[in-house]
Structure 1
């Protein structure tokens, strides 16, 4: 990522280039990203290809001012952090499903950022932490996104289980990977009828007082812990994507099968 791309990416979420790669800047970058770049799976429901390549991700997220899901958001954020001088490692995770059973490897992409200590950074899991979490801390960690705990997973593989407000989130592996390693699972998530991403379009973003989510036609606002819902009419959908998420679409995403 060159200097002009760094500037354009930082402009995407109203940040200036940090003077040094420290944890305070990392925390500010993560929260600003969460409040400006939505978690969304709209490409799947618009028939758009998803390419896990830095130039394609930059065009989608920065130039076209879209969002994406974990492979896209954390994939490009890793490029930015690396360009800013951070030491970044891509990690694979298994997302916990019903019954507390972890899903397949590469189900999720998260980031490890090494400063004086290792940090978990994630801008691609929807409703999650506002800032980086200490990977070596076993006590509860709290921020505006809730209460988190990172503990050793069963077995002798060095995996870590991440919980959010007491609920299992994902099982994080220790081995580093490249973005290309996530391509097969990204394709499965975008195409399989068994993937929850193919069931309905979703767009969600952190706000200063909570979260706004549009799932299919249901608009959900959470403000200071209070949740309200309303089903939108068809004619309201395109303006809603623009007004609440800054996304300009020329057609409404289709619903899942």
Structure 2
């Protein structure tokens, strides 16, 4: 287990987290519990970048994560999701190692990109096999724990996934339609808070960051995935069909965030004022 923790004794509110993700199952640190928590978290807490798009800072402090994702029922991106989940898993007795990945989504698998994504390697007591858990990869977030076993197609409540290999690194791949797509590559080097702080600051403030210049949100439901890319809403059903919509006004966008992503904005006025900045592509 890594020798750092974000939470002091009693600081992390596990009960509030469980209520937020509507998890009511057994809390014993088993594979079934791990898989259930990953599924419930992914469906309940959306991926979204409203803070950086609106020029607000993204804090990775545990109290800020709980306040935003749990108390205020908002979403966030990979660092926020997986740091919060890490605290819950540690509280339950799992062994958790935080890792960093290079996002490749749709690009060549040998392309070298920054380590801008967070994921977790989780050990289950009395189980020799480690598992990969990631509740923060946007439109293709795995909705189950994955075996660290290269080349094995693994069923999840949504798409099949597999762990692959490239030049000794691990990859995570998803079956999209009839093609395997590499989402990201990573190794097993443990990461610490400073590693995520640097990437988090860059993605949330740099003028060329796509999280600063555009709007994105994603959430899986039991039978579909919702994906918002700027003004385009895509709904991908598990039967292979898709719906595509263009949001023509700020009111449509705010309603879409509420209805499909369960994001209730305390004050929607900043988003209304920024609507014209959202690329219309």
TM-score when normalising by structure 1: 0.91
After TM superposition, the structure 1 stretch with the greater mean CA deviation from structure 2, 191-200 or 118-127, is 191-200
Question: Which of 132, 142, 146 matches 1:133?
Answer: 146
Q: Shift of residue 72 of structure 1?
A: 0.7
Seen in structure 2, the aligned counterparts of structure 1 residues 138 and 118 have a Cα distance that, compared at 3 Å, is: same
Question: Which of 23, 26, 45 matches 1:37?
Answer: 45
1:89-148 deviation line (CA, Å, top 9, x unaligned):
100111115333444343110000012110000000021321011113432222233222
Matches within 5 A, 1:227-246: 227-234=242-249, 235-246=251-262
Distance 2:182 2:228 in 1: 24
Seen in structure 2, the aligned counterparts of structure 1 residues 102 and 76 have a Cα distance that, compared at 3 Å, is: farther
TM-score when normalising by structure 2: 0.84
8 Å CA contact 1:128–1:146 kept in 2: the answer is no
Aligned residues: 254
Q: Shift of residue 69 of structure 1?
A: 0.7
After TM superposition, the structure 1 stretch with the greater mean CA deviation from structure 2, 73-82 or 17-26, is 17-26
Seen in structure 2, the aligned counterparts of structure 1 residues 151 and 231 have a Cα distance that, compared at 3 Å, is: closer
8 Å CA contact 2:150–2:165 kept in 1: the answer is no
8 Å CA contact 1:94–1:108 kept in 2: the answer is yes
Distance 1:256 1:107 in 2: 23
Q: Shift of residue 44 of structure 1?
A: 0.9
1:165-224 deviation line (CA, Å, top 9, x unaligned):
211111121111123321111111112243332231111100111111222222221223
Distance 1:219 1:95 in 2: 22
Distance 2:194 2:209 in 1: 20
The DSSP-based 3-state class of the residue aligned with 2:226 is strand
Seen in structure 2, the aligned counterparts of structure 1 residues 17 and 59 have a Cα distance that, compared at 3 Å, is: farther
The residue aligned with 1:68 is 76
Root-mean-square deviation (Å)? 2.0
Q: Which consecutive unaligned segments of at least 5 residues does structure 1 have?
A: none
Question: Which of 5, 11, 15 matches 1:7?
Answer: 15
Seen in structure 2, the aligned counterparts of structure 1 residues 74 and 19 have a Cα distance that, compared at 3 Å, is: closer
